[in-house]
Amino acid sequence: MSRRDLLSYLADLGWRDVEAVSAVPGAASGPQDAGSPAAGGEEPLAAPDLAGMARALAGCTRCRLCRGRTQVVFGVGNPAARVVFVGEGPGADEDRLGEPFVGRGGQLLDRMIESIGWKRSDVYITNIVKRRPPQNRDPLPEEIEAYKPYLTRQIEIIRPRVIVTLGRFSMNYFLPEAKISRDRGRTFTVNGFLIYPVFHPAAALRSPDMMKGLQEDFQKLPKIANGETTSNIVLPKAMAEEKPKAAKPQQGSLF
Ligand code: URA
């Protein structure tokens, strides 16, 4: 058993001190390290572009997800995309290949993108958490928090016109009060970005109704991306009051 695996095993058994020991560079660390530089000394948030961020984040040891046998699944696609798709977190296929949405759900996402005349390489695809949660469990709040600065920075660099959230987790990241059954297929403006929630492709694979909903919502996407639909833009009052639009967004403050 490697040192890393041993530390991980002991930490999972509840050995609290292991978290402190494991905070040395190169070893697994807990979510309380969220503000410290990634292993190897390169600071992902200081990178000028997405490729530099991805390289620096590959050595990241910031959250408990780093303890598993996972790799960072940063994001893929056009760094100047008008549309960014944000899912929940990598699954087994994504962890194996290091790319988001490459499993069955990803193939459906590709078909949806092609159904509106776009290519996967036209858009940018990423997740709220960048490593696979064990057994595909839901990401924990502290895991989402630990990866928040990276998603924020990705969005700052790309500056898309539309952020399409795939599924409930991603939608509630941007729109905490939203309900997927009620709000999917509607656009919301949050801090100058259009947020467009749709069903998660994996959910659509399990439910014909959701599949139909996902198809319908995709058909509306080209017009939304072209700025042609303004009729259904909703500004949730509480959110608009809570997070006024900043003139120049600061690091980590977009959402
Ligand atoms: N589900 C997600 O939310 N993201 C992926 O990358 C794959 C499956």
Work out how many domains the chain is built from and give that number.
1
CATH code where residue 227 lies: 3.40.470.10
Is the predicted pLDDT of residue 180 greater than 70, yes or no?
yes
Dihedral sign, Cα of residue 186, residue 109, residue 146, residue 150: negative
pTM: 0.79
**Separation of 144 CA from ligand 1 center, angstroms?**
14
Mean pLDDT across the stretch 178-193?
Answer: 95
Residue minimizing CA distance to atom 7 of ligand 1: 101
Between the CA of 51 and the centroid of ligand 1 the distance, in Å, is: 20
Confidence of residue 178 (pLDDT cuts 50, 70, 90): very high
Give the atom of ligand 1 at the shortest distance from the alpha carbon of 94.
6
Q: What is the pLDDT of residue 113?
A: 98
CB count within 10 Å of CB 61 equals 22
- Ligand 1, atom nearest to 125 Cα: 6
Which one of 165, 166, 198 would you pick to mutate in the ligand 1 pocket, going by the greatest count of ligand atoms within 8 A of its CB? 166
pLDDT at 21: 28
Identify the pLDDT of residue 150.
Answer: 94
Q: At what angle do helices 208-225 and 104-115 cross, to 10 degrees?
A: 50
Instruction: Say what the pLDDT of residue 140 is.
Output: 92
Q: How far apart are CA 140 and CA 112, in angstroms?
A: 29
Q: How high does pLDDT run on average in the chain?
A: 80
Q: Which domain holds residue 86?
A: 73-236
Closest-lying ligand 1 atom to the alpha carbon of residue 170:
3
Give 105 Cα–ligand 1 centroid separation in angstroms: 7
| Rounded-to-integer distance, Cα 54 and Cα 72, Å | 8
* pLDDT at residue 136 in the model: 85
The answer to whether residue 152 is domain-embedded is yes
CA 111 to ligand 1 centroid distance, Å: 15
Does residue 52 lie within any of the structural domains? no
pLDDT tens-place string over residues 56-76: 888 777 667 777 778 999 999
Answer yes or no: is pLDDT of 205 > 90: yes
- From 85, 94, 104, 125, the mutation candidate for ligand 1 (largest count of ligand atoms within 8 A of CB) is 94
Any idea how long the chain is? 255
Q: How far is the CA of 89 from the centre of ligand 1 (A)?
A: 5
CA of 140 to the centre of ligand 1 (A): 15
Residue 137 lies in a domain: yes
Instruction: Mark 158-197 as b/e (b = at least 16 C-beta within 10 Å).
Output: bebebbbbbbbbbbbbbbeebebeebbbbbbbbbebbbbb
Q: Above pLDDT 90, what percent of the chain?
A: 62
Give residue 2's pLDDT: 43
Domain assignment present for residue 16? The answer is: no
Q: Please tell me the predicted confidence (pLDDT) of residue 62.
A: 65
Which one is predicted more confidently, 193 or 16? 193
Per the listing, tokens 């997927």 go with 180
Higher-scoring residue by pLDDT: 112, 32: 112
pLDDT of residue 35: 40
Q: Once rounded to an integer, what is the mean pLDDT over residues 9-16?
A: 36
Encode pLDDT of 73-82 as tens digits: 999 999 999 9
- Asked whether residue 56 is assigned to any structural domain, the reply reads no
**Count of beta carbons in the 10 Å neighbourhood of residue 248:** 4
Rounded to an integer, what distance in angstroms lies between the CA atom of residue 33 and that of residue 53?
18
Residue 154 lies in a domain: yes
Distance 232 CA to ligand 1 centre (A): 27
Q: Tell me whether residue 73 is exposed, middle or buried, using C-beta atoms within 10 angstroms of its C-beta: 0 to 12, 13 to 18, 19 or more.
A: buried
- Ligand 1 atom with the smallest distance to the CA of 87 is 3
| Residue 189 covered by a domain | yes
Least confident of 114-128, 193-207, 210-224, 232-246: 232-246
92 lies in some domain: yes
Structure confidence at residue 40 as a pLDDT band (50, 70, 90) = low
Q: Which residues line ligand 1 (CB under 6 A)?
A: 87-91, 94, 100-101, 103, 105-106, 127, 202
